[in-house]
Amino acid sequence: MSAIDEADFRAIGVERDGALLVITIDNPASELNAVDEVLHDELARLFALLRRERQARAVLLTGRGRAFSAGGDFAWFPSLRAPERLDALRLDARQLINDLLDVEVPIVAAVNGPAMGLGASIALLCDVIFMADTATIGDPHVRVGLVAGDGGAVIWPLAVGPARAKEYLLTGDPVSAVEAERIGLVNRVVPADRLLDEAGVLARRLAAGAPLAVRYTKLAVNKLVKDALNTAFDASTALELVTFMSEDHAEAVTALQEKRSPEFKGR
């Protein structure tokens, strides 16, 4: 059963290639595919639909242009500083991540450029992650006075252990492709001009595998990830919402607009 139609999306591209479904993050409002309200809503709808996808046997997920996704759109953030907006965002964010983990067909991420914040979380929660040698990945929530609450506090410790995860989550420093492969954050780094070809080879191999065995093995492994999600996601997201209302976050957004370093006060 085909559950996804390209006409359903404005900021996401959909292309079918036999048993492979190629999904491209393609936000026309952002050169770096930043997550605004439209893209956030469409990502949530995408993974809900992918849960019911039966025509495709594998998914290849990438970004348009020079970025996978640069994370949250700072121009969107001020509109979220109201309790009802934040609560709706919390519910949507949790459903998005849960649905991503419940997609039964394997998802191969092809990280073509910067994958930051939610962009990083989505890439790292895929099943196999290819990364262009020119790309970077990171979770810079703390740099704008926010808790890493959209999945970063869940997947980074699982991928690289608590110590390394805290180093990158507490600093917000981006990780180069070479370092990401060295520490086991991603599976494979390839030349940028070969990224889609090489990621596509594995995606097609998975699509040609025994469908039930592939899907059920993925679901079994993802039980471990969902355990971590149940442990950390609600707490980290609740704390992120607290920091959304903080003076420090407002100062970070203002500092970005004024192109200066923020002065954090801890309130």
Query: What CATH number has the domain bearing residue 33?
Result: 3.90.226.10
Crossing angle of helices 152-160/211-244, nearest 10°? 120
CA distances (Å), origin 228, targets 104, 108, 125, 209: 19, 21, 12, 28
Q: Are strands 136-138 and 175-176 parallel, antiparallel or unpaired?
A: antiparallel
Residue 40 falls inside a structural domain: yes
Q: What is the pLDDT of residue 260?
A: 93
pTM of the model: 0.94
Closest CA to 253 of 264, 245, 262, 242: 262
80-119 b/e (C-beta count within 10 Å ≥ 16 → b): eeeeeebeebbebbbebbbbbbebbbbbbbbbbbbbbbbb
Residue 253 falls inside a structural domain: no
Residue with tokens 């003076």: 247
Residue 249 falls inside a structural domain: no
Total count of domains within the chain: 1
Q: What domain range includes position 22?
A: 6-193
Q: How far apart are CA 50 and CA 119, in angstroms?
A: 18
**Number of residues that make up the chain:** 267
All residues at 6 or more sequence positions from 162 whose CB lies less than 8 Å from its CB, including other chains: none
Residue 267 falls inside a structural domain: no
Q: Does the pLDDT at position 166 exceed 60?
A: yes
From the CA atom positions of the chain, what is the Rg in Å?
18
Q: pLDDT tens digit string along 204-247? A: 999 999 999 999 999 999 999 999 988 888 889 889 888 988 99
Confidence of residue 85 (pLDDT cuts 50, 70, 90): confident
- Reported as type and span, the H/E element at residue 215 is helix 211-244
Take residue 24 and report the two structure tokens written for it. Answer: 């491209």
Amino acid present at 30: S
Q: What is the pLDDT of residue 15?
A: 94
In the sheet with 136-138, reading across from the earlier edge strand, the strands are 115-116, 136-138, 175-176
Residue 99 falls inside a structural domain: yes
Average pLDDT over the chain, rounded to an integer: 92
Residue 266 falls inside a structural domain: no
In the sheet with 107-111, reading across from the earlier edge strand, the strands are 12-17, 20-25, 58-63, 107-111, 128-132, 188-190
Q: How far apart are CA 173 and CA 224, in angstroms?
A: 27
Q: What is the pLDDT of residue 2?
A: 57
Q: Does the pLDDT at position 106 exceed 70?
A: yes
Residue 233 falls inside a structural domain: no
| DSSP structural state of residue 79 | G
Q: How far apart are CA 26 and CA 135, in angstroms?
A: 17
Q: Does the pLDDT at position 118 exceed 70?
A: yes
Residue 186 falls inside a structural domain: yes
The CA-based diameter of the chain, rounded to the nearest angstrom, is: 56
Q: Which of 70-74, 153-157, 222-226 has the lowest mean pLDDT?
A: 70-74
